[in-house]
Structure 1
Amino acid sequence: MSNHTTAASDTDRLNIAVLGCSGSIGTQTLDVARHHSSQVQILALSVHHNTKKLVEAAREFSCSYVAVTDPAHSDDSVLQELPQETKLLVGPEALVTLATLPEVDCVVSAVVGFAGIESNYAAAKAGKRLAYANKESIVVGGDLIMPLLHPGQLIPVDSEHSAIFQCLQGEQKASLYRIWLTCSGGPFFGKVKQELEHVTVQDALAHPTWSMGSKITIDSATLMNKGLEVIEACHLFDVPEDKITVLIQRQSRIHSMVEFRDGSIKAQLGASDMRACIRYALSYPKRWDSPEAERIDWGSEPPITFNEPDMETFGCLKLARQASRTGRTMPCAMNAANEVANAAFRRGDCGFLDIERTCAAVMEHHTIRPVESVHQLEEVDAESRAQAREYLAGRL
């Protein structure tokens, strides 16, 4: 296909590279592909270390290319079971190779965290459609990536940003008054800060409405995920931070809303199922059929409720909004600190509230500068991760 920003025609399948195929978004993308095999061809797949899932998917979809980004798993015995015609790539740089393959039309960016920035930047430069779930790359490198894109090239996969994108279809930017960015509130909604001091990893992973990977589930519990989404929305929709209002919507049925200058509000509603967002990103500007299992009987649904977030108890949201207003390299420093502290909490090496404290400490020590290049952001990321580790060790 020569036009990377149009959906597949009825006779031509969309060639897709799924970066991070073993995670939550990646596996759900493969499920969408199974249901739409006449419209989607999985051409390339990557994992970090889950080579068993990689081989299973490569065999199922007859992939031309696969990548293992962790070199320590390049010789896993299961890789001998790859189809003979499948080419294996190894190392972090393989993501860029897959994202820029000439025969790839669309890159599903499902890599978690800062690790996805190089491949996303490369895919944007190469004119690929981006079905975008790697919010950290936009949070950190939006100043670099967004100017490369043309309309319809990036379709967000996050449920909230997909909702906003859909609500804005056919509207003029000058008519936008406010974005209502919805949030379930996570497993600790209604608790005060003292109650969060000793919560466990298992407590934090018990998300009330969504099934996600462990990193993003912890981010949802701290509300850092919503803070990252505020920064992401500023870049994606070219709006200032004060035009975005976070709203707790416990049932996760309203995925976000857009308010216009005449007082009208558009909301996008649906099941708590990421496959709908993935399907829309792949089919845009068309809409493909969804399985009946994803549909909702609205007549039997409980009432929909709204609340304001508590940014004193969930200080990560407050820090992220601060980072958004500061801009430049501050979101990169904050994101790096959060990734380190989030992982430390999941390992049992720090407490839940230490995630917020680590981010605050690293942000306080960060020397802010304008964003200039991916290489510069990699240096800021490494520097901030080192500071986060020092803070958690009691040395910062």
Structure 2
Amino acid sequence: MAKKVGVVGAGPAGLLLAYLLHREGIEVVVLEARSRAYLEQSPHRIRAGVLEWGSQEVLLQAGLGERMLAQGLEHRGIYLAFDGGMHRLDFPSLTGKSIWVYGQQFVVQDMIQAHLAAGGEIRFEHEVLGLEDGGLVYRTPEGAVERLACDFVVGADGSHSRLRAQIPKARVHQKIYPFAWLGILAEAPPAAEELIYASHPRGFALFSMRSPTRSRNYLQVAVEEKLEDWPEERIWAELNERLGGVAEVRPGPLLEKSLTPLRSLVVEPMQHGRFFLMGDAAHVVPPTGAKGMNLALCDAVLLYRALLAYYRRGEEGPLLRYTQDALRHVWQAELFSYFMTTLLHTPADSFDEGLRTAQLRHVAESPHLQRFLAENYVGLYTSGRHPGLLSQEV
């Protein structure tokens, strides 16, 4: 069996690329090691849900945004809480754009449903074992080892990618941060109508939401912390402590609790021959900047355009430039994520803490720094350089 494009991984990057290619009549198949139920319903898949302005435009133009508009939340700014006060950054006044809060799990659900409804092919519970000349080797749910011949292979198999090693002599740029996030999803009203990024001497806290009745909150903790050391009462008390009295969170039943170490990673190059990496397989960002899903969608749009140029007109240039073009938006997102992480998290070193506090106060006072933060938050590349699927002829 042969396909023009084989995609490994049914996350946002792989699913969007497959859906767009299938819509153009290009034969594509997605191989995914997990079950459909796990991808769509598992509480372990509840992840970030901030869509840049350009990302929500991409979903709308692709015909994937109906439920996002009905159930998602448009946010026109964020709050910075520190020194006993709240400072709001108004995105439309600073950039003319806003962002959308809509959980990644819902994006994946929408993409799977739309792709299958359009006759696209996703083979769930098919574990890819490796690459071979001209295609992929995988194991079926019954345990049989089979091969898929294809023109191009795309690795979109997540932050712990097995296919990343298929790029010989790849450079892996990595930064490990000295703290982790303790995250909860709770059936409780959010602390505010928009996200609050709280800086406190005890550590950073983020107050976000999935709906008007469901909150998603995070605490900066030491990397060696254990979940069992954080009972519900301690979590709610610490969240309110770090708000510093500027707002209040009301406790509610916990639906999920997790610990996430923070790291940054960039693989260079993101391609070798006819093999390409996308999404978390190619780059990882700390969640502080809300860039992970947006980068995945950016990669998918870029590779979609390059493959379309190849199949429509035989042009190989965009494919050859994929890494070069992708690294522009990747490193910009890494820069912003690093900026937000170091701006908001309390370091152990007192000198670093003094510098961080000075910078945070400067952000609150400077319209120039506020615009830098806002234009990166709403998306420099999805909103500007990559303005959408249908706005540029391919």
Query: Could you say whether these structures have the same fold, taking a TM-score greater than 0.5 normalized by the shorter chain as the test?
Result: no
> What TM-score do you get using the length of structure 1 for normalisation?
0.25
Greater share of residues in strand: 2
In terms of fraction of residues, the more helix-rich structure is 1
